[in-house]
Every structure is written in C-alpha cells, then in structure tokens.
Amino acid sequence: MVYLKAMQTSMVYPRFLEDEADVGVVCPRFAVLSAPMAPTVSWGGGTEAGPAAILEASTALEVFDDELLQETVQAGIVTRPPLPLAGHDLTDDCRLIKEAVSRELAAGLFPVLLGGEHTVSGPAVAAMQEQYPDLHVVQVDAHLDLRDAYSGTPLSHACVMRRVAELGVNFSQVGIRSFSAEEWQLVQQHGWQPYTMARIHQQPDWLEQLQGEINGPVYLTIDVDGLDPAIMPATGTPEPDGLSWRQVTALIRMLTAIKPGLVGLDVVELAPRPGQEHAAFTAAKLIYRTMGYIAAKEVAATHGHGPKQV
C-alpha cells in the first residue's frame, strides 16, 4: 500500500525487467499495462498491489529463458504507466481499461494486462473482440466467475465470465474447483463443459480436447488462484488443488502453437503477502515464459537462439 500511494504522486514506477528491457528494439512486441482495480474483492484483499509486485519481481528474472534457451526480451517489451483508475466508478474504470488495450492493439503490440481484480478482464476482452470478432477466451481460474451479480454489482470479479458470455465470445474454463449452485445451473443450461480439476485429473487428454474447442485467436486470462496454492499462495481466494507449473505452461505452449494463437493476455488476482514473495516471482516468470512462447520464432530468426524441444 505504501508503494501504491507513492505511485499516485510520482511518475516513477517499476518496468517489466527494468533496465534489462532496454535492448534498443525499435518496434517492441509486447506492452505491459497495469490496472490496479480492486473495489469488489472478497475475503482476502490486496489485489490492488498485484501489478506493482509482479513488475518488481520481474527484475529478479534471468532474461535468458531456461526452457526456450533464448533472451525473449530481445523481442521488445515496453511497460506503460499504471492506468489512472478512480476506484469508485467501476464503469468509468472499465472504459479506461478498454481504451488502453485498444490503443496497444491499434499500435500492433501484444497487450499484457496486470490486475487488480478479475473485473479488469471484461473490458479487455471487449477491446479484443473489436479487433478479433472470432475471439476465443481461455480462462485459468479456480472459480467459474459466472454469477449475474455479486455484492450488489454485476461488475464484480465474481461475474466477469458472465459478462464475457453476454458479449457472445466463445470461452473455455480451466482449473475450476469452486462455484455456486446458480453458476452450475447456468453451465448445465448452456451445455458448457469446464475443465474442472476433477476432469483434468481423470482425462489425461484434456489439452487435446481443449485444442479441439478453439477455432480462432485466443485471449488468455489467468486468475492466479487457478494455480495450486503450493506455488501460488498469495491470492484473495485460494482453493486446494489447482494447476501445477508444468500443467499451466503446457497449456500456454499449446495455445501459442495453434493458429492463429494467442493475441492477448492478462494475469489477475495476485494479492502480495509478507513471506510469500515467491508468488509474485512465479507470476512474473509465467508472463515472461508466455512471451517467450509467442516470440520464439522471431527471436530465433533475429538472434540465433532456438527453442528447446520439450
């Protein structure tokens, strides 16, 4: 919270990878945006500090990727100043997020949005849909987030996928292991088939099944509580079980390998906790690894490194 207060009065803010991002790329590939929105969080708070924690943790990353054997940073990464969200007007804040994502798309950059609560994904998806009408959203999450309203607002983090569904966007949900009776009834009514953790454990070919559902560019939204709390304890609503590091990276590797692949990403719901600093580092490395999968061919062509076969 001390950092966030300082951020409101100073133009100094962390950048993804800090000085190591200064590689002189004229046309960067990725733009990192911060949307520290958190007015509707439930149970454990603190997600407003998530973007800054991820950016700060990224400075400890090795820029040479240990799996891909490349310096992904050579593709070019720029970090934008945090969005000036008011915090008291959800509709206005969502408008600012949509406009910011739209600007990056118009400039030809791949948007990487850091939340804040999961509400930030709704306006991001709306911006992506305008650019990609056949967009498919893949949600990594412990929760379905399909409530019509929660705590008196339809813009709650618990409602974000309900709002995405109302946009007419196709979506798949991965890592699910917590939901209400109302949400499950909605799933059954629509014939949706989320990849619950029970299903993932029971069906070793779940990735192949998921791949078969996707027919268009993919926007990936990662609520960090979709990961196992053993590697991601710092979140407001942790749930037992969850995706392992290997499972989530295998998912992302698949999404970047299919055509046309990933076109946007957000990582949300990190709530920094004292003694759990590794969670922010894990989120930062997951983002950098995702960038690596996306830019592997262009980095190899320009700098002579090739991805490791896995």
Mean pLDDT across the chain, nearest whole number? 91
| C-alpha span between 119 and 269 (Å, rounded) | 10
Do residues 206 and 216 touch, judged by C-beta distance below 8 A? no
> Hey, which residues does 30 pair with through a beta bridge?
77, 110
Burial of 88 (0-12, 13-18, 19+ CB in 10 A): exposed
Torsion angle in degrees (nearest 10) through CA of 156, 141, 239, 185: 70
Rounded mean pLDDT, 178-197: 97
Kind plus residue range of the DSSP H or E element containing 176? strand 170-176
> Hey, which residues does 31 pair with through a beta bridge?
78, 111
For the chain, the structural domain boundaries read 2-7+29-303
| C-alpha span between 310 and 308 (Å, rounded) | 6
Nearest to 111 by CA among 91, 93, 132: 132
**Matching residue, tokens 């200064």:** 22
pLDDT confidence bin for 281, thresholds 50/70/90: very high
| C-alpha span between 183 and 42 (Å, rounded) | 17
Q: pTM to 2 decimals?
A: 0.92
**Which residues participate in the annotated binding site for Mn(2+)?**
118, 141, 143, 145, 223, 225
Collect all residues with Cβ–Cβ distance below 8 Å to 284 and sequence separation of at least 6. Answer: 16, 54, 55, 57, 58, 60, 61
Tens of pLDDT along 198-209? 999 999 999 999
pLDDT confidence bin for 284, thresholds 50/70/90: very high
pLDDT confidence bin for 108, thresholds 50/70/90: very high
Torsion angle in degrees (nearest 10) through CA of 14, 15, 21, 26: -140
Burial of 235 (0-12, 13-18, 19+ CB in 10 A): buried
| Dihedrals phi, psi of 211, to nearest 5 degrees | -55, -40
| C-alpha span between 278 and 53 (Å, rounded) | 10
The pLDDT value recorded for residue 177 is 98
The pLDDT value recorded for residue 145 is 96
Topology adopted by domain 2-7+29-303:
Arginase; Chain A (3.40.800)
Say which DSSP state 54 is in.
Answer: H
Residue 130 has pLDDT above 70, yes or no: yes
Rounded mean pLDDT, 133-137: 98
pLDDT confidence bin for 309, thresholds 50/70/90: very low
The pLDDT value recorded for residue 89 is 85
Collect all residues with Cβ–Cβ distance below 8 Å to 27 and sequence separation of at least 6. Answer: 76, 108
Do residues 136 and 215 touch, judged by C-beta distance below 8 A? yes
Residue 90 has pLDDT above 60, yes or no: yes
Kind plus residue range of the DSSP H or E element containing 280? helix 277-303
Percent of the chain scoring above 70 in pLDDT: 92
Cis peptide before 229 (omega within 30 of 0): no
